[in-house]
């Protein structure tokens, strides 16, 4: 392979031994399978690097999820690095907010192929410093987190590109911000472009950039290597980058996850009863399993629609029976599926739009519900004021719950349920 042609892997947010808190709250959760998923994904990453004979591996922060429970985490990780060492593949990594120097003190000496960037200032590693042939025209620039809550624009202080090299910047950052992630080491694409690098290997945001954030220079989040909960659905993995004649010839997404999270939305028609609910749910589970590419599937089922089944679901005890039946349907796939949660958000088969236009009290109430559904701030304020006394009396219990009185998704679900109860009462009295 010519000195200006090589391949490398860009990975980030591996979160080895992420504790996956709260699993005990889920019925029948395959706890060990879930907790081992981050390790198995990292093993897949290592094997991919070996199989593809890459020149080196980049890890753009959060190799670990936080302070180790015990030294076994470090011993196991070092063993994976040694597999790469034996294959002659260097690893260069930075620390992120979860494994910042002040938060995770490894106590383990990594194999000689592992190069960890300084957390004090940006530094540059050339081919020779990475243990690669001196003739390989590559320079990797990076800086890790000394503490978890880095607010400075680290990228602004990165060194200028080295002339005659393929320059890679490694950065753990929220970039300009993402509502699902804390804001750390924020920067802009303009700052990245001003470094004149060829590639920016970004970490922290767990959703892969597709398409990339920038083509020139190429800048992307690789996403995390393994989804850890229902907010991290879909395929997870890393980017395999090919460099030829000093430029990027291709970037390929490669899957490393061993367990895949899905949201299965089941919409019922007006005439659908419980039998149709079960049939459509079975179809949705099969679709999720097909999308898992042979991996174990963790699925949240969300059933909605103005339907005949709502009359039965409104009866005491029926919802619990239906959820149990759905969990039993998942058993038809011999331990390939786990139902993380079932959400029943059906409503009676009533023309709600027509009722909402009415000039009576019901029409006014339905219009208020519709208005609140599009105004999250007003909805949160109403709930906070209405349930202030409950919140003060049950504070610890609410804090330990999966959701809170300020969670937008939960508030919307409660609002939808309230509308459904109102319509069910109307139907019952009709």
User: pLDDT (tens digit, 9 = 90+) per residue, 43-57?
Assistant: 999 999 999 999 999
Q: Which contiguous run of DSSP H or E holds residue 400?
A: helix 395-400
Q: Is residue 398 domain-shared with residue 291, that is, in the same domain? A: no
Which residues have CB under 8 Å from 400's CB, separation 6+? none
Structure tokens of 199? 């590639």
Question: Measured between alpha carbons, how far is residue 165 from residues 127, 131, 155 in Å?
Answer: 10, 16, 19
CB 8 within 8 A of CB 241: yes
Can you give the pLDDT at residue 2?
43
Residues 71 and 211 both lie in one domain: yes
Residue 146, domain member (yes or no): yes
208-to-97, 139, 226, 228, 408 alpha-carbon distances in Å: 18, 24, 12, 15, 24
Would you state the pLDDT for residue 84?
98
The pLDDT value recorded for residue 406 is 63
Same domain (yes/no): 203, 183:
yes
Name the pLDDT band for 359 (thresholds 50, 70, 90): confident
Q: Say which residues have a Cβ less than 8 Å from residue 313's Cβ, sequence separation at least 6.
A: 319, 322, 344, 346
Residue 24: pLDDT over 80:
no
| Chosen domain end from 232, 255, 278 | 255
| Helix or strand run (H / E) with residue 171 | strand 166-172
What single-letter DSSP state applies at residue 18? -
Tens of pLDDT, residue by residue over 160-202, are 999 999 999 999 999 987 676 678 999 999 999 999 999 999 9
Q: Are residues 263 and 244 in the same domain?
A: no
Q: Are residues 221 and 245 part of one domain? A: yes
Q: Please, which residues have CB within 8 angstroms of residue 53's CB and are 6 or more apart in sequence?
A: 7, 87
Position 396 pLDDT exceeds 80: no
Of the candidates 293, 300, 155, the residue with the CA atom closest to the CA atom of residue 233: 300
Residues 231 and 288 both lie in one domain: no
- Same domain assignment for residues 334 and 361: no
**Last residue of some domain: 349, 372, 393?**
349
Question: Quick check: is 391 in a domain?
Answer: yes
pLDDT tens-digit profile of 62-109? 999 988 888 999 999 999 999 999 999 999 999 999 999 988 877 789
- What pLDDT band is residue 1 in, cutting at 50, 70 and 90? very low
Tens-place pLDDT, residues 298-338: 999 999 999 999 989 988 899 999 999 999 999 999 889 99
Residues 290 and 362 placed together within one structural domain of the fold: no
Give the pLDDT confidence score for residue 214 in this predicted structure: 96
Q: Which of 222, 255, 288 is the last residue of a domain?
A: 255
Listed range (144-153, 270-279, 389-398) with the worst mean pLDDT:
389-398
Domain shared by 62 and 109, yes or no? yes
Same domain, 314 and 191: no
Reported as a pLDDT band with limits 50, 70 and 90, residue 421 is: low
Cβ atoms of 300 and 232 closer than 8 Å: no
Q: What is the pLDDT of residue 282?
A: 98
Residue 52 domain flag: yes
Q: Does any domain span residue 1?
A: no
Which pLDDT score, from 0 to 100, does residue 26 have? Answer: 72
- Whether residue 140 is contained in a domain is answered as yes
Same domain, 232 and 292: no
Residue 399 clears pLDDT 60, i.e. is over it = no
Using DSSP's 3-state secondary structure scheme, residue 235 falls into coil
Is residue 366 scored above 80 in pLDDT? no
* Residue bearing the bigger pLDDT, 366 or 183: 183
Q: Supply the range of the domain harboring residue 271.
A: 258-349
Q: How many independent structural domains does the chain possess?
A: 3
Q: What is the pLDDT of residue 404?
A: 57
- pLDDT for residue 401: 47
Domain contains 132:
yes
Average pLDDT, the chain: 88
- How would residue 278 be classed by pLDDT, with cut points 50, 70 and 90? very high
Token digits of residue 235 = 């395929």
Does residue 338 sit within a domain? Answer: yes
pLDDT at 390 over 60: no
pLDDT of residue 85: 98
* 270 three-state secondary structure: coil
pLDDT digits (tens, 9 = 90+) for 212-263: 999 999 999 999 999 999 999 999 999 999 999 999 999 999 999 999 999 9
Q: What share of the chain is helix, strand, coil (3-state, %, to 5)?
A: 35, 25, 40
Any domain includes 269 = yes
One domain for residues 369 and 251: no
Confirm if 55 and 8 have CB atoms less than 8 A apart: yes
Mean pLDDT of 403-411: 64
């Amino acid at each position: 392979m010519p000195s200006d042609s090589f391949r490398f892997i860009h990975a980030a947010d591996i979160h080895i031994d992420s504790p996956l808190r709260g699993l005990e709250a889920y019925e029948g959760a395959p706890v060990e399978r879930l907790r081992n998923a981050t390790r198995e994904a990292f093993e897949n990453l290592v094997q991919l690097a070996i199989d593809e004979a890459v020149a080196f591996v980049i890890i753009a922060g959060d190799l670990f999820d936080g302070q180790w429970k015990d030294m076994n985490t470090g011993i196991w990780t070092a063993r994976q690095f040694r597999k790469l060492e034996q294959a002659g593949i260097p690893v260069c990594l930075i620390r992120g907010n979860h494994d910042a120097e002040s938060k995770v003190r490894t106590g383990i000496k990594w194999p000689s192929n592992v190069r960890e960037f300084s957390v004090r200032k940006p530094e540059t590693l050339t081919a020779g410093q990475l243990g690669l042939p001196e003739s390989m025209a590559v320079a990797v620039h990076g800086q890790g987190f000394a503490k978890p809550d880095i607010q400075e624009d680290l990228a602004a202080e990165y060194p200028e590109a080295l002339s005659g090299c393929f320059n890679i910047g490694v950065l753990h950052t929220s970039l300009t911000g993402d509502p699902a992630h804390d804001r750390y080491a924020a920067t802009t694409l303009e700052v990245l472009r001003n470094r004149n690098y060829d590639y920016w290997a970004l970490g922290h945001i767990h959703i892969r950039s597709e398409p990339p954030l920038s083509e020139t220079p190429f800048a992307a989040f690789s996403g995390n290597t393994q989804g850890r909960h229902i907010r991290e659905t879909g395929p997870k993995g890393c980017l395999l980058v090919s460099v030829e004649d000093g430029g990027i010839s291709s970037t390929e997404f490669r899957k490393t996850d061993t367990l895949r999270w899905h949201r299965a939305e089941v919409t019922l028609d007006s005439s659908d009863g419980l039998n149709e609910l079960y049939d459509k749910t079975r179809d949705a589970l099969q679709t999720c399993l097909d999308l898992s590419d042979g991996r174990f599937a963790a699925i949240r089922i969300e059933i909605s629609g103005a339907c005949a089944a709502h009359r039965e679901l409104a009866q005491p005890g029926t919802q619990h029976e239906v959820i149990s039946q759905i969990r039993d349907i998942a058993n038809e796939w011999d331990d390939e599926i786990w139902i993380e949660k079932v959400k029943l958000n059906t409503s009676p088969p009533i023309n709600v739009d027509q009722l909402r236009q009415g000039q009576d009290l019901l029409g006014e109430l339905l219009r208020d519900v519709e208005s609140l559904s599009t105004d999250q701030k007003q909805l949160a304020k109403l709930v906070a004021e209405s349930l202030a006394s409950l919140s003060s009396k049950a504070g610890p219990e609410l804090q330990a719950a999966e959701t809170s009185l300020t969670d937008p998704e939960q508030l919307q679900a409660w609002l939808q349920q309230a509308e459904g109860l109102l319509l069910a009462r109307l139907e019952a009295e009709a």
